[in-house]
Amino acid sequence: MSFQPIFDNAADMKISNRRFVAQTQTRSGVVRSVSQNNSIWRFTISLADGQPWENWRTYISGYEQLNRYTTDTVDLSQSGFSYMFPYQGDETNIANLRVSVINGELRVQSGVTITSGYLFLVGDLIQLVGGRVYQVTQPVLWSDTSISTHRAPVDEAVGTYDTNIGVLAEWEVICTTMPKWSFVDHKRVGWDGPFEFQEAM
């Protein structure tokens, strides 16, 4: 049972972590906006019609058992997605980086080996192992300790965490829209729309 085959076989994928915003406009044209404090990751995925039934029979059974009420962990680590979120910084031993959550912020704790350059650049992904995925919003020099992210304050409790960086990040998601599948040709299947997932909070 997994949503991962849907991600791995995506023909089209839209990803967003924008904050939810409500806007009103007065008759005189004044626009007022209100934003939620946190933003969540959302994925919209379309599969190509005409997939072989023998390949998808098990996958379909698996994701239909999860349905729209069970969460699953997914990643974008397969080779076809390596261009999406590669690590951009200069740290050659990034797998050993540990960060702390202090006052709702991410702070570099240990594991930095470089003495110049950048630890993170804008757009890099940091996942606290067992927790959320955060996107860096300001460059982080090798000597900096504070990490600005798209979600502030961070959701995890005070403590020190191992990390998954870049393509190693994993999301816990729930399916919010699950299209119906059908046979579209002899021994082939198609779907009547895209799948929609959002980060489970």
Taking only the tens place, the pLDDT of each residue in 126-158 is 999 989 999 999 999 999 999 999 887 888 999
Given a cut of 70, whether residue 89 has pLDDT beyond it is: yes
Q: Which residues of 4-22 are buried (b: 16+ CB within 10 A; e: fewer)?
A: bbbbbbbeebeeebeeeee
pTM comes to: 0.88
- φ/ψ of residue 148, rounded to 5: -85, 130
Nearest to 90 by CA among 140, 135, 134, 146: 140
Separation between Cα atoms, residue 87 and residue 38, nearest integer Å = 24
pLDDT one-digit tens code per residue, 13-62: 999 998 767 778 888 877 877 766 568 999 999 999 999 999 999 999 99
Mean pLDDT of 61-76: 95
Burial (Cβ within 10 Å: 0-12, 13-18, ≥19) of residue 102: middle
Within a 10 A sphere around the Cβ of 46, how many other Cβ atoms?
Answer: 16
Q: How far apart are the first and last CA of the chain?
A: 20
Given a cut of 70, whether residue 107 has pLDDT beyond it is: yes
In the chain, domain spans: 4-78+172-199, 86-168
pLDDT at 42: 96
Rounded to the nearest integer, the mean pLDDT of the chain is: 92
pLDDT at 38: 66
Percent of the chain with pLDDT over 90: 77
pLDDT at 34: 73
Given a cut of 70, whether residue 68 has pLDDT beyond it is: yes
